[in-house]
Amino acid sequence: MSLLVDIAHRQGSFGIEARFESAGRLTALFGPSGSGKTTLINMIAGLVRPRTGRIVVDGRVLVDSEAGIFVPRHKRRIGMVFQDARLFPHMSVASNLRYGRWFTPAAERYADMKAVVELLGIGQLLDRRPAKLSGGEKQRVAIGRALLASPKLLLMDEPLASLDEARKAEIMPYIERLRDETKIPIVYVSHSIAEVARLASDVVMLAQGKVAAFGPTTEIMRRLDLLPAEERGEGGAVLDMKVLRHDENFGMSVLGSAAGEIRVPRLAIAPGAPVRIRIRARDVMVATERPTGLSALNILPGEIVAIGRGEGPTAEISIDCSGSVVLARITEQSRQALKLDVGGKVFAVVKTVSFDQANTGTGLPVQADI
Amino acid sequence: MNWLLDLTPDEWNAVRLSIKVATVAMLFSLPPGIAIALLLARGRFWGKTLLNGLVHLPLILPPVVTGYLLLITFGRRGPAGAFLAEHFGIVFSFRWTGAALACGVMGFPLMVRAIRLSIEAVDRKMEAAAGTLGANPAWVFATITLPLILPGLIAGAILSFAKAMGEFGATITFVSNIPNETQTLPSAIYTFTQVPGGDEGALRLTLISIVISMAALVASEVLARRIGRRMDIE
Give the pLDDT confidence of A113-145 residue by residue, as tens digits.
Answer: 998 998 888 999 999 999 889 988 999 999 999
Which residues from B are below 8 Å from A99, CB to CB?
130, 133, 135, 143
With an 8 Å Cβ cutoff, are B126 and A88 in contact? yes
pLDDT in tens, B176-222: 888 888 899 999 999 999 988 888 889 989 999 889 888 888 888 88
pLDDT for residue A369: 33
HEC letters along A178-200: HHHHCCCCEEEEECCHHHHHHHC
Nearest to A131 among B125, B144, B234 (CB): B234
- Mean pLDDT over B32-36 rounds to 96
Burial of residue A64 (CB within 10 Å: 0-12, 13-18, 19+) is middle
B98 in the Ramachandran plot: left (φ > 0), alpha (ψ -120 to 50) or beta? alpha
CA distance A172 to chain B (A): 22
DSSP A247-269: ETTTTEEEEEETTEEEEEEPPSS
Distance from the A370 Cα atom to the nearest Cα atom in chain B, whole angstroms: 24
pLDDT at residue B2 in the model: 63
- Which of A77, A90, A103 is facing B231, going by the closest CB pair? A90
CA distance B232 to chain A (A): 6
- Verify whether the Cβ–Cβ distance A103 to B144 is below 8 Å: no
Which pLDDT score is estimated for B217?
83
Q: Among A20-24, A137-141, B100-104, B128-132, whose mean pLDDT is lowest?
A: A20-24
**Selected residue of A44, A47, A57, A73 to mutate for chain B interface (largest B Cβ count, 10 A):** A73
On chain B, the residues whose CB falls within 8 A of the CB of A75 are 134
Q: What is the pLDDT along chain A (370 residues), one digit of tens a residue?
A: 789 999 999 888 888 999 999 888 899 999 888 888 999 999 999 999 999 999 999 889 999 999 999 999 999 999 999 999 999 999 999 999 999 988 998 888 888 899 899 888 899 999 999 988 998 899 999 999 999 999 999 999 999 988 888 888 888 888 988 888 888 899 999 988 889 988 999 999 998 889 988 999 988 888 887 787 777 788 888 888 899 999 999 999 999 888 888 999 998 888 988 889 899 999 999 999 999 899 988 999 999 999 988 878 889 999 999 888 999 999 999 999 999 999 999 999 999 988 887 777 777 765 333 2
Alpha helix segments (H runs only) across B93-148: 96-120, 124-132, 137-140, 146-148
Beta strands A345-350 and A298-309 are antiparallel
Contacts of A88 in chain B (CB under 8 A): 126, 129-130, 144
Q: Which of B133, B139, B144 to mutate to test the interface with A (most CBs of A within 10 A)?
A: B133
- Residues in A 115-174 with any Cβ partner in B closer than 8 A: 129-132, 145-146, 149
Q: Chain A contacts of B140, Cβ < 8 Å?
A: 74
Compute the CA torsion angle B58, B64, B66, B71 (nearest 10 deg): 160
Q: Three-class SS of residue A41?
A: helix
